[in-house]
Structure 1
Amino acid sequence: MPDKTVLIDEAQFYSELLRAYFDSTQDSIFVLCDEMKFLTCNKTTEHWLGYTEHELTLHNERVPITQLLGESYDANIFNKLFDQALKGEATSFETCIYPPLGEERWIEINLSRVNIENGDMVIAVARDISERKKHLATIEYQSHFDELTCLPNRSFVLEYLNEFQLNKNIESSSLVLLILDLDRFKEVNESLGYKLGDVILQEVALRLSRVADDASGEFVARLNGDEFAIVFPGTELSQSQITTQMIRQIVSQPFIIQARKISLESTIGVAALPDHTDDSNELLQFAEAAMHNAKSQKIGISVYDRELTDASSERLQLLTDFREALKKSHISTYYQPIVNMQNRSLHVETLARWNHPQRGNISPDVFIPLAEETGDIHKLTSKIMASAFRDCVALLNKKLIVNLSINISAYSLANAKFPAEIKTFLEKYNIPPASITLELTESAMMSSLPETQKTIAMLHEMGLAFSIDDFGTGYSSLSKLKRMPLKELKIDKSFITDIEQSKNDLAITNAAIQMAHGLGMDVIAEGIESEQIWNRLKQMGCDYGQGFWIAKPMPVSELLLWINNHHDLLKGTSIN
Structure 2
Amino acid sequence: MRLSTQMLTGIVGITIISQLVLGMIAYWVLAGVERDHLLRVTRERTAEVAQAIAVPLATGTREQKALERAARLFAPAVDVILLIEGGRIVASTGPLAKEIDLARIPAAVLQPHARDQLVEIDEGRFLVTRQRVPGLDYSLLALQEQRLSREKMIARFGFRSLAFSVILLWVAVWVALMLASSINRKIEQKNRVLRRQVTHDSLTGLPNRALFTEHINAIINLPGEFDNRFMVMVVGIDGYTEITDTLGHDVGEQLLLEMAGRINQAVDQENAVARLEGEKLGVLLTDTDSESGSHSVRQFLDGLDRQVSISGMVLDIRLSIGAALYPTHACDADSLLRYADIALRQARERKAEYLFYDDDADFSSMHRLMLGSELPHAIARGELIAVYQPKMSLATSKVCGLEALVRWEHPREGSIPPTDFIPLAEQSGVIRELTEMMLDQAVHFLHRLHARGHNLDISVNISAHNLRDDKLPEFVEALLTRTGAQARHLCLEITETVMMQDIEQAQRVLERLHRLGVRLSIDDFGTGFSSLSYLNLLPVDEIKIDRSFVTHMLTQESDQAVVNTIIQLAHTLHCQIVAEGVEDEETLALLRTLGCDIAQGYLISPPRAVADLENWLLGSDHKTTAQVVDKP
**In structure 2, distance between residues paired with 1:497 and 1:426:** 36
Establish whether residue 319 from structure 1 lines up as the match of residue 372 from structure 2: yes
Could you tell me which amino acid in structure 2 is paired with residue 466 of structure 1?
L
- Kindly report which structure 2 residues correspond to 1:456-467, keeping only aligned pairs within 5 A, or say none: 456-467=510-521
**In structure 1, distance between residues paired with 2:425 and 2:238:** 16
Establish whether residue 455 from structure 1 lines up as the match of residue 509 from structure 2: yes
Task: Work out which of the residue numbers 213, 227, 237 in structure 1 matches 2:297.
Answer: 237
Cα deviation code 1:65-114 (max 9, x no counterpart): 74143434359x9xxxxxxxxxxxxxxxxxxxx9989xx9xxxxxxxxxx
- Kindly report which structure 2 residues correspond to 1:385-400, keeping only aligned pairs within 5 A, or say none: 385-396=439-450, 400=454
SS state of the match for residue 69, structure 1? helix
**In structure 1, distance between residues paired with 2:250 and 2:413:** 40
SS state of the match for residue 527, structure 1? coil
SS state of the match for residue 281, structure 2? strand
Q: CA deviation at 1:455?
A: 2.6
Aligned residues: 439
Could you tell me which amino acid in structure 2 is paired with residue 213 of structure 1?
M
Task: Work out which of the residue numbers 607, 615, 621 in structure 2 matches 1:553.
Answer: 607
Q: CA deviation at 1:410?
A: 1.0
Task: Work out which of the residue numbers 406, 410, 424 in structure 2 matches 1:370.
Answer: 424
Question: CA separation of 1:539/1:327 partners in 2, compared to 1, >3 Å: closer, same or farther?
Answer: same
Q: CA deviation at 1:365?
A: 1.2
Q: Is the 8 A contact 1:269 1:288 kept in 2?
A: no
Q: CA deviation at 1:315?
A: 2.5
Establish whether residue 336 from structure 1 lines up as the match of residue 382 from structure 2: no
Establish whether residue 213 from structure 1 lines up as the match of residue 273 from structure 2: no
Could you tell me which amino acid in structure 2 is paired with residue 71 of structure 1?
L
Cα deviation code 1:200-227 (max 9, x no counterpart): 599689558636535447899897xxxx
Question: CA separation of 1:340/1:280 partners in 2, compared to 1, >3 Å: closer, same or farther?
Answer: farther
- Kindly report which structure 2 residues correspond to 1:48-67, keeping only aligned pairs within 5 A, or say none: 58=25, 61-63=28-30, 66-67=33-34
Counterpart in 1 of 2:541? 487
Q: CA deviation at 1:544?
A: 0.7
Task: Work out which of the residue numbers 311, 331, 355 in structure 2 matches 1:303.
Answer: 355
**In structure 1, distance between residues paired with 2:333 and 2:463:** 37
Counterpart in 1 of 2:81? none
- Kindly report which structure 2 residues correspond to 1:532-547, keeping only aligned pairs within 5 A, or say none: 532-547=586-601
Q: CA deviation at 1:500?
A: 3.5
SS state of the match for residue 568, structure 1? coil
**In structure 2, distance between residues paired with 1:178 and 1:375:** 30
Q: Is the 8 A contact 1:347 1:404 kept in 2?
A: yes
Question: CA separation of 1:174/1:215 partners in 2, compared to 1, >3 Å: closer, same or farther?
Answer: farther
Q: Is the 8 A contact 2:399 2:623 kept in 1?
A: no
Could you tell me which amino acid in structure 1 is paired with residue 487 of structure 2?
P
SS state of the match for residue 517, structure 1? helix
Q: Is the 8 A contact 1:345 1:401 kept in 2?
A: no
Q: CA deviation at 1:444?
A: 0.5
Normalised by the size of structure 2, how large is the TM-score? 0.56
Q: CA deviation at 1:336?
A: 1.3
Counterpart in 1 of 2:574? 520
- Kindly report which structure 2 residues correspond to 1:104-115, keeping only aligned pairs within 5 A, or say none: none
CA RMSD between the two structures = 5.3
Question: CA separation of 1:445/1:207 partners in 2, compared to 1, >3 Å: closer, same or farther?
Answer: farther
Could you tell me which amino acid in structure 1 is paired with residue 281 of structure 2?
V
Establish whether residue 177 from structure 1 lines up as the match of residue 234 from structure 2: yes
Q: Is the 8 A contact 2:322 2:354 kept in 1?
A: no
**In structure 1, distance between residues paired with 2:508 and 2:274:** 35
- Kindly report which structure 2 residues correspond to 1:102-251, keeping only aligned pairs within 5 A, or say none: 118=169, 121=173, 122=176, 158-159=209-210, 161-162=212-213, 165=216, 176-178=233-235, 210=255, 213-216=259-262, 229-231=279-281, 233=283, 237-238=297-298
Task: Work out which of the residue numbers 272, 277, 298 in structure 1 matches 2:323.
Answer: 272
**In structure 2, distance between residues paired with 1:435 and 1:243:** 62
Could you tell me which amino acid in structure 2 is paired with residue 311 of structure 1?
S
**In structure 1, distance between residues paired with 2:348 and 2:522:** 22
Q: Is the 8 A contact 1:443 1:475 kept in 2?
A: yes
SS state of the match for residue 529, structure 1? coil
Task: Work out which of the residue numbers 396, 418, 436 in structure 1 matches 2:472.
Answer: 418
Cα deviation code 1:98-151 (max 9, x no counterpart): 9989xx9xxxxxxxxxx9995664498999xxxxxxxxx99x999999xxxx99
Q: CA deviation at 1:564?
A: 1.7
**In structure 1, distance between residues paired with 2:274 and 2:470:** 33
The share of aligned pairs that are identical, in percent, is 25
Stretches of structure 1 that go unaligned for 5 or more consecutive residues are: 1-38, 40-53, 78-97, 105-114, 128-136, 186-196, 251-266
Task: Work out which of the residue numbers 565, 570, 585 in structure 2 matches 1:531.
Answer: 585
- Kindly report which structure 2 residues correspond to 1:30-49, keeping only aligned pairs within 5 A, or say none: none
**In structure 1, distance between residues paired with 2:445 and 2:530:** 34
Q: Is the 8 A contact 2:544 2:580 kept in 1?
A: yes
Counterpart in 2 of 1:435? 489
Q: Is the 8 A contact 2:234 2:281 kept in 1?
A: yes
**In structure 2, distance between residues paired with 1:371 and 1:475:** 25
Q: CA deviation at 1:163?
A: 5.2
Q: CA deviation at 1:522?
A: 1.6
**In structure 1, distance between residues paired with 2:219 and 2:528:** 45
**In structure 2, distance between residues paired with 1:334 and 1:151:** 56
Question: CA separation of 1:558/1:379 partners in 2, compared to 1, >3 Å: closer, same or farther?
Answer: same
Question: CA separation of 1:270/1:418 partners in 2, compared to 1, >3 Å: closer, same or farther?
Answer: farther
Question: CA separation of 1:495/1:547 partners in 2, compared to 1, >3 Å: closer, same or farther?
Answer: same
Question: CA separation of 1:65/1:359 partners in 2, compared to 1, >3 Å: closer, same or farther?
Answer: same
Task: Work out which of the residue numbers 379, 390, 409 in structure 2 matches 1:355.
Answer: 409
Question: CA separation of 1:430/1:274 partners in 2, compared to 1, >3 Å: closer, same or farther?
Answer: same
